[in-house]
C-alpha cells in the first residue's frame, strides 16, 4: 500500500513538473499574468536604433512570424556573464516574468539573468527544425544519394548557396526548397515533389543566364528525377 501511494505521489509530481510552465503558443492567453514560458529560441536581434537598445529573442519562428519574444534592454546585458547567442540561441529556453503583448505577440521583459534559463528537462525542437527533420527523412527515403546531389545542383543553379558535392539534406538545402516554394507560390512543405521539379524546370527555361547546353543538362537531370516515385 505504501509503495502504491509512493508511486501515485511521484506520478502526480511528475505531471505537475510537466505542466509547471506555459508553451510559447499558450502565452497569448495569459496576458498580464506572471508565469514561466518555455519554447525554442530561433533568433537574437540587437535593435540599436530603438530606445534602450533592446535585444530581442524570438521563439519558434523568426520575425515577423515569431510566436513569442523575450526582451533584454542594453543596460541589463552586463548582468550576463556570456554572450546571449552562446547561452540561448537554437536551444530550448524558459523565460519567467509578466506576460505582455505588442500587436498580439506575447513577450516578457527580462531584467535579471535568473528570469531566463535553458530548458534541460524537456528538450524541444523549433518548428523549423522539426519540419527539416521530416523533410530530411523524406528525401533520404525517396531519393538515392546521387539524386539528392542532383537536386542540390538544380537549386544551386537557381542561386542558392549549397554544397552540391554532399548528398546530406542539410538545413541550408531545406531552407532553399522552402524559399523556392514561397517565391513560386507552391505549397510550402519543404518536399521536392513533381510540382516543384516542374517549376524548377520552368525557372531554368526562363533564366537568360543559361545557354542551350546548360538548359539541356538541367533538363536531363530533372527528367531522371521525375522517374522516382514522388
- What pLDDT is stored for residue 122 in this prediction? 54
First to last CA, the chain: 57
Q: Do the beta carbons of residue 89 and residue 29 sit within 8 Å? A: no
Tell me the C-alpha to C-alpha distance, in Å, between residue 35 and each of 94, 114, 122, 211: 10, 14, 18, 60
Q: What is the pLDDT of residues 156-185, one digit of tens each?
A: 999 999 999 999 999 999 999 999 999 999
CB atoms under 10 Å from CB of 153, counted, come to 15
- Return d(Cα 72, Cα 143) in angstroms, integer: 45
Q: Tell me the CA distances in angstroms from 209 to 118, 157, 177, 180, one per residue in order.
A: 48, 10, 21, 18
Read off the pLDDT of residues 90-100 as tens digits, 9 standing for 90 and up: 999 999 999 99
| Architecture per CATH, 27-118 | Beta Barrel (2.40)
Domain residues of the chain, as ranges? 27-118, 127-226
SS3 161: coil
Residue 11 above 80 pLDDT? Answer: no
Residue 119: the pLDDT is: 85
Question: Does residue 59 contact residue 41 with C-beta atoms inside 8 Å?
Answer: yes
Amino acid at each position: 500500500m505504501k509503495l502504491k501511494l509512493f508511486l501515485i505521489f511521484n506520478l502526480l509530481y511528475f505531471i505537475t513538473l510537466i505542466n509547471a510552465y506555459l508553451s510559447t503558443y499558450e502565452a497569448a492567453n495569459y496576458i498580464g499574468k506572471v508565469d514561466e514560458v518555455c519554447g525554442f529560441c530561433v533568433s537574437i536581434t540587437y535593435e540599436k536604433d530603438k530606445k534602450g537598445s533592446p535585444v530581442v529573442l524570438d521563439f519558434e519562428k523568426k520575425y515577423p512570424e515569431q510566436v513569442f519574444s523575450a526582451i533584454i534592454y542594453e543596460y541589463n546585458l552586463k548582468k550576463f556573464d556570456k554572450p546571449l547567442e552562446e547561452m540561448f540561441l537554437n536551444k530550448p529556453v524558459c523565460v519567467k516574468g509578466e506576460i505582455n503583448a505588442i500587436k498580439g505577440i506575447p513577450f516578457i521583459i527580462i531584467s535579471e539573468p535568473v528570469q531566463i534559463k535553458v530548458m534541460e528537462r524537456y528538450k524541444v525542437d523549433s518548428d523549423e527544425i522539426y519540419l527539416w527533420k521530416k523533410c530530411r527523412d523524406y528525401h533520404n527515403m525517396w531519393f538515392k544519394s546521387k539524386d539528392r546531389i542532383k537536386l542540390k545542383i538544380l537549386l544551386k543553379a537557381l542561386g542558392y548557396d549549397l554544397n552540391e558535392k554532399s548528398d546530406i539534406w542539410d538545413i541550408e538545402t531545406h531552407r532553399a526548397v522552402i524559399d523556392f516554394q514561397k517565391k513560386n507560390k507552391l505549397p510550402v512543405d519543404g518536399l521536392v515533389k513533381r510540382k516543384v521539379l516542374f517549376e524548377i524546370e520552368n525557372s531554368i527555361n526562363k533564366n537568360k543566364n543559361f545557354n542551350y547546353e546548360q538548359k539541356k543538362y538541367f533538363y536531363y537531370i530533372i527528367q531522371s528525377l521525375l522517374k522516382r516515385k514522388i
